[in-house]
Amino acid sequence: MGAEFVALSLTPLLIGVLAAVTCALPGNFLLLRRQALIGDAISHVVLPGIVVAFLLTGRVAALPMMLGAAGAALVSVVLIEAVRRTARIEAGAAMGVIFTTLFAAGVLLLEQSDTSGVHLDVEHALYGNLESLIWLDATGWASLLDPVALSGLPPELPRMAVALLIVALSIAVMWRPLAIATFDEGFAATLGLPVRAIGLALVMLAALAAVAAFDAVGSIIVIAMFICPPAAARMMTDRLLAQAAWSVGFAILSAVLGYVLAGYGPLWLGFANSVSAAGMIATVSGLILGVTMMIGPCRRRAGGATVH
């Protein structure tokens, strides 16, 4: 499976893994802060951002689209805060209101604008195009050392790698204040920690992860990876650092297993066509969560079974 695997499967697999891990890392903190839905919100509002960027520039290019998506993510975060504060709508509902509204606006925009000639549609937004991120220049494992072939790598791969690097480094540096502010914001503030800025930084990292991953793999994976691996990881351990490690492991497992099952699973079952890798990766992450909910050593909410 050498040459064919490297050319057709290696890069989508790697991009899937990178996207999954990039989303799962901030997901740990979002989950503990009861903000997990913000990943959902961001990945939906990315659509109008991309459409607006396309309308402004008239072409499908990575940079303006990323900027449009990032801008939309920023706008949505601000709007969510605004709705929550001015109208006293609780955070989850505020997110729901904003992301459905903006996503719907994006769909309308898309319908009204002439995007028929370009690869820009709602399906793409949901499922991405993981399978198409192939590396045609590769002729085998040796291509990994061939500069000419390497220059033909899909640009999503280095982009996703950079996003992961930024997210992982930021979280590593912010780890302690982030943990303290997540557990006990009032106490964190009395230590002089900038709790508002910490919360905003986390949401920005989530936005970065969502926008970078959305471009490569679509919003289904983004939403699933923000929530499922960290939630499954929580069932496996009672320590934050270990939870983050487990979540990375589950994210990788989801991406690899999901990709393989999407490509070969239907064949094994006797069907002719493979299924969407993004959909399968998200499904696998949900199944992992289901399994850990049943057998994870720390699955019970503390206090449920112990003396109080």
Partner 1 sequence: MAHPLSTPRSLLQTEGTVAATPAPPPALQVGGLTVAYGEKPVVFSVDMSVAQGTMTAIVGPNGAGKSTLLKAVLGLVKPLSGEVRLFGLPLSRARDRVAYVPQRASVDWDFPARVIDVVLMGLHRELGLLRRVRPAHLDRARACLARVGMEDFATRQIGQLSGGQQQRVFLARALAQSADLYLLDEPFAGVDAATEKAIIAVLKDLRAEGRTIVAVHHDLSTIRAYFEHMFLINMRAIAAGPVAEVFTAANLQRAYGGRLGEAQVAGMQAGDATP
Binding residues vs partner 1 (CB under 8 A): 32, 173-177, 179-180, 182-184, 186-187, 189-193, 234, 237-240, 242-243, 298, 301-303, 306-308
Q: Which is nearest to 83 in space by CA: 96, 68, 70?
A: 96
Smaller CB separation from partner 1, 103 or 250: 250
Residue with Cβ nearer partner 1 (200 or 241): 241
Least distance CB 245 / partner 1 (angstroms)? 12
User: Is 77 or 181 the residue whose CB approaches partner 1 more closely?
Assistant: 181
Tell me how far apart the terminal alpha carbons of the chain are, to the nearest angstrom. Answer: 57
Q: Which is nearer to partner 1, 119 or 301 (CB)?
A: 301
Of the pair 144, 191, the CB lying nearest partner 1 is at 191
User: Least distance in Å: CB of 19 to partner 1?
Assistant: 24
Q: Smallest distance, Å, CB 302 to partner 1?
A: 2
Report the alpha-carbon distance of residue 52 to residue 58 in Å, rounded: 10
CB of 243 to partner 1, least distance (A): 5
Question: Which tokens sit at 251?
Answer: 């994210």
Minimal distance, residue 276 CB to partner 1, in Å: 33
Least separation in angstroms between residue 180's CB and partner 1 is 5
- Please say which residue, 119 or 308, places its beta carbon nearer to partner 1: 308
Q: Residue 207 CB, nearest distance to partner 1 (Å)? A: 23
Measured from the CB atom, the residue of 137 and 185 that comes closer to partner 1 is: 185
In whole angstroms, how close is the CB of 167 to partner 1 at the nearest point? 17
Q: Minimal distance in Å, beta carbon 288 to partner 1?
A: 18
**Number of C-beta neighbours around residue 156 at 10 A:** 25
Return the number of the residue (42 or 205) whose C-beta is nearest partner 1: 205
The DSSP result for the chain, as a single string, is -HHHHIIIIIHHHHHHHHHHHHHHHHHHHHHHTT-THHHHHHHHHHHHHHHHHHHHHSS--HHHHHHHHHHHHHHHHHHHHHHHHHH---HHHHHHHHHHHHHHHHHHHHHHS--TTSS--HHHHHHTTGGG---TT--SGGGGG-HHHHTTS-THHHHHHHHHHHHHHHHHHHHHHHHHHHH-HHHHHHTT--HHHHHHHHHHHHHHHHHHHHHHH-HHHHHHHHHHHHHHHHTT-SSHHHHHHHHHHHHHHHHHHHHHHHHHHHHHTT-SS---HHHHHHHHHHHHHHHHHHH-TT-SPTTSSS--
- Which CB, 59 or 239, lies closer to partner 1? 239
Whether residue 244 contacts residue 60, with contact meaning beta carbons closer than 8 Å, is answered with no
Q: How far apart are CA 43 and CA 60, in angstroms?
A: 18
